[in-house]
Structure 1
Amino acid sequence: MAKHIFVTGGVVSSLGKGITAASLGHLLKARGYKVTMQKMDPYLNVDPGTMSPFQHGEVFVTEDGHEGDLDLGHYERFIDENLSRESNFTQGSIYKTLIARERRGDFLGGTVQVIPHVTEAIKERLRRIADQSGADIVISEIGGTIGDIESQPFIEAARQFRKEKERGDVLFIHVTLVPYIAAAHEVKTKPTQHSVKELRSIGVQPDFIVCRSDHEISDKVREKIALFCDVRPDEVLACTDSPSIYEVPFGLHDQRFDVKVLERLGLPERQIDLSPLRSFVDAAAHVEHDCDVAIVGKYTSLPDAYLSVIEALHHAGVYNNTQVNVHLIDGEELNDDNVEEVLGSMDGILVPGGFGQRAFEGKICAVRYARTHDVPFLGICLGMQAAVCEFARDVAGMPGATSAEFDENAEFPVIDLMPEQEDVEDKGGTMRLGAYPCKVAPASMAFKAYGEELIYERHRHRYEVNNAFRDRLAEAGLVISGVSPDGRLVEMIELPDHPWFVASQGHPEFKSRPTRPHPLFRDFVAAALDHRE
């Protein structure tokens, strides 16, 4: 039977519960245990697929096509496991399921309540991921902050879940803020005390307390927290700010966090192998080169909107012994008059995914600059569509070429709605989602990167290259370097007479790992470094 670990947060949001949970997952996997992870989100949206990236950050897509919380990206990168739609669920999805059952009459006229019905539905999701993954240990992060009214059903469900299990099968980790008060020159434990008091008031005693701070947590501070929160001093862990999120597992390992967790779960310690991540962190700290890469998008005021892209660039940079300096460029403000000033010093240009017409012309401008100035270019999803539109306009003689998403009456809709999407009305969870196969053309830049003819990338889109213009684009010199196995869908394009110009309809960033960078990002950064030198 799987062991379960619940990770909660207190005092404020954005403390790093996800990184803490993922770091513990990495440590436990490095000891030979099969680990899976799960995020429970308290909002009423069914999933984050229709939420603004300005509010929520990126939408992470799993292999099986689930649109999930961005923490799933952290989980996959830290434990190097492909997660599934069972790895993320919201309060909205729970309510949606229960209401559908109530409408069918499944409850035989009974009153449907938070307790026991909502909590039982949550516990069912906990059991399901354990059964389907076959994991030894399931780590479940409960979103939100202790004291939030919307997260209470999840805490109550976890409390009941622990009560139903054998002693040692379930434990709770509470991540909390220990702020530094500059005027007093000391860190303060009172917020942590109040947070734990709130957690205990709803029936949950944490087994471990992880203290987030930008200052050192002394033994004296640990002892004070332990005294007031009813844990031992060695069950109070310090998690101070690190130069890199990938250093967090080592800080927790130095405090024997993984050993203590296994001891509480009644599992043997086993040998640990942290050498792959250690090599990555050491290499990142001693890179000898640097290069500048522009990400031209429209959600640039919130870097988390492009979190996986930025991480993938970081992974590829370390592989290439290079510090990648990422510059977020607002496509709305980019035009032919300022493009030289903004992009002239860049060694690589990346246009990521997105939706809507806003900033699209700026992305076109960025593509044009990369194409005409031999600057290495990587286009992702809408970035590929922008590259096709720019090529159609400026090379293939189709002025005004655009996407039917923006102009249904365009003369040259080189990007069009996929036929299977025509009758779709609901926006949430209805796109082409998840991993799909792609045949890569031999002798292409893409084939050189991947090293194989059949690859899989995760997708999230409704629009594709319009086959009515495919031959015309190819005749003008656009190389279609990747197609679906049936040849119907254009999955990748590139330019032959260019140092490195590749675009993918899929989202390669979702599959990049610290110790195994994605091939397209790896070669893109290598090309950017060559351009700089």
Structure 2
Amino acid sequence: MARYIFITGGVVSSLGKGLMAASLAALLQARGFRVRIRKFDPYLNVDPGTMSPYQHGEVYVTDDGAETDLDLGHYERFTGVSAHQGDNITSGRVYRDIIAKERRGDYLGATVQVIPHVTDAIKDFAQSDTDDLDFVLCEIGGTVGDIESLPFIEALRQLRNELGRDNTCFVHVTLVPYIAAAGELKTKPTQHSVREMTGLGVQPDILLCRCEKPLPDGERAKIALFCNVRKEAVIPALDASSIYAVPLQYHREGLDDEVLRHFGMTAPAPDLARWDDILDRYEHPEGEVTIGVVGKYVGLPDAYKSLNEALVHGGMANRVKVNIRWIDAELFEKGDDEIAARLEPMHGILVPGGFGERGSEGKIASVRFAKERKVPFLGICLGMQMACIEGARAAGHAKASSTEFGPTDEPVVGIITEWMSKEGLQQRSAEGDLGGTMRLGAYEACLSGNSHVSALYGGATTISERHRHRYEVNAAYRDALEKDGLVFSGMSPDGLLPEIVERPDHPWFIGVQFHPELKSKPFEPHPLFAGFIKAALQQARLV
């Protein structure tokens, strides 16, 4: 039977519950346990797929096509366990399913209520598909006291009663702020947060206290006294030099030991050699490169969270520091002087995915700069599409564009309404709901045997990568693109959808329709990012 660890947050948001969950799971995994992490999101959207990146950060896509919270990216990167549809649930999804059942008459005329119907649905979600696991970590989004999170806390309270304290553990993440004027760390916010939790019927078992100064022994004892936990269960969580230092830091503070003690379990000491190597590569680079990311949502780094981490992983693979310069694509629509001034110092240029026309001409200008100046280039999703539009224009199709941006006589990129998957033919309507018209999840691509990208994948002829898009490059323009030197080096298995383009006459120029950043891990950097950073390092040595 799986044991459950419920992770809640108090005082303020953005305390790092997702990172804490991922780190704890990695520590338990390093002790030989089988783990899975799940995220409960209280908002009413069915999923984050239609939410602005400025509202919610990036949308993380799983192999089976779920659009999920970015915390699932942390979970995968830290544990290597692939997430799936059942690992992220929202209030919107719960209510949608319950109302659908009510309309069908599944409740036999009963009054549908938060208790028991909503809480039962949450409990069912938490316990589904857990037979082969030792630990299930459940992170509850938001902050305790939020109205929308109350059904989730209630459901977990019920689950503790049903499974017993020996099989459940509540870890509460709080803030112990430092007041500079007083020169003290203040424990009162943590006390109030725990009181809020106990008022909802839940007594935390372990407190993870985020603080920017070391937590003195006296304050730790005070928190334990007023919050009704053991002193050893008050775990300091100081700011770390890197997110990849967090598992090692939490182990030193005894977090995994305290969790096992709570469950009355013993286990061998964790094998943390993997994390020691990761941190060593991060903290002791032997060079550095600067990568310019020309995007649309650069005002919020979380909009490109997985991309940021994948670039760091590429640096780890080459033992170099990666300096990322986030550049608003709209700046490049002011003229060539602005482009040269900002991109000339870059050792590599990356145009990421996105939606909409804003900044598109700036992205195309960035592609042209990388092509003409022979700067290593990686285009992802929309970035690949912009590379194809640039290539078509250079080949004489001056009006080349995407139907995403409006009607065009030269649709180098157009909306896709059907494609083949493992389940058979998939069909969508251009007028359908935004959340249901995309090609989502893992799809295979067949690589050209003599291509650069095949070499990067170790000579593979078939790969599987995750997609999230509703527009595709029009294969009818293949001849025109090849005229400009841009070749299709990866296609869908049916040969209809371009998956990868590259320029054989360029030092390193690759565009991919999928999102390789979603599968990169610190202990297994994605080959495209490892290769991109290696090319950028070579570029840096030429400057």
Q: TM-score range by the shorter chain?
A: over 0.9
- In the other structure, the counterpart of 2:332 is 334
- In the other structure, the counterpart of 2:435 is 428
TM-score (norm 1): 0.98
Structure-2 separation of matches of 1:261 and 1:326? 37
Structure-2 separation of matches of 1:267 and 1:454? 44
Structure-2 separation of matches of 1:230 and 1:422? 57
Structure-2 separation of matches of 1:120 and 1:429? 27
The one of 156, 175, 178 equivalent to 2:176 is: 178
Q: Output aligned runs, 1:226-241, within 5 Å.
A: 226-241=224-239
- In structure 1, runs of 5+ residues without a counterpart are none
Structure-1 separation of matches of 2:63 and 2:276? 27
- In the other structure, the counterpart of 2:528 is 520
Structure-2 separation of matches of 1:478 and 1:247? 41
- In the other structure, the counterpart of 2:506 is 498
* Aligned: 1:407 with 2:415: no
Q: Output aligned runs, 1:360-509, within 5 Å.
A: 360-394=360-394, 396-408=395-407, 410-420=408-418, 421-451=428-458, 452-509=460-517
SS at match of 2:288: strand
* Aligned: 1:98 with 2:111: no
Deviation at 1:467, TM superposition (A): 2.1
Report if the CA contact (8 A) 1:3-1:170 is conserved: yes
Q: Counterpart amino acid of 1:403?
A: S
Deviation at 1:140, TM superposition (A): 0.5
Superposed CA offset, 1:307-335 (max 9, x none) = 10010000110111110000000001113
Report if the CA contact (8 A) 1:67-1:429 is conserved: no
Report if the CA contact (8 A) 2:443-2:466 is conserved: yes
SS at match of 2:19: helix
Report if the CA contact (8 A) 1:298-1:330 is conserved: yes
Report if the CA contact (8 A) 1:348-1:376 is conserved: yes
Structure-1 separation of matches of 2:396 and 2:241? 49
Report if the CA contact (8 A) 1:49-1:429 is conserved: no
Aligned residues: 529
Q: Counterpart amino acid of 1:406?
A: F
- In the other structure, the counterpart of 1:213 is 211
Report if the CA contact (8 A) 1:49-1:428 is conserved: yes
TM-score (norm 2): 0.96
Q: Counterpart amino acid of 1:491?
A: E
- In the other structure, the counterpart of 1:532 is 540
Q: Output aligned runs, 1:298-377, within 5 Å.
A: 298-335=296-333, 336-377=336-377
Report if the CA contact (8 A) 2:415-2:430 is conserved: no
Structure-1 separation of matches of 2:118 and 2:9? 21
- In the other structure, the counterpart of 2:423 is none
- In the other structure, the counterpart of 2:192 is 194
- In the other structure, the counterpart of 1:75 is 75
- In structure 2, runs of 5+ residues without a counterpart are 419-427
- In the other structure, the counterpart of 1:126 is 126
* Aligned: 1:148 with 2:127: no
Deviation at 1:424, TM superposition (A): 4.9
Superposed CA offset, 1:75-126 (max 9, x none) = 1011111110111110000000001111111111111111111000000101
Identity, in percent, stands at 55
Q: Counterpart amino acid of 2:486?
A: L
Please tell me the root mean square deviation across aligned C-alpha atoms, in Å: 1.0
Report if the CA contact (8 A) 1:434-1:460 is conserved: yes
Report if the CA contact (8 A) 1:432-1:460 is conserved: yes
Structure-2 separation of matches of 1:400 and 1:333? 22
- In the other structure, the counterpart of 2:424 is none
Superposed CA offset, 1:190-219 (max 9, x none) = 000000000000000001000001111111
Q: Counterpart amino acid of 1:448?
A: A
Structure-2 separation of matches of 1:338 and 1:248? 39
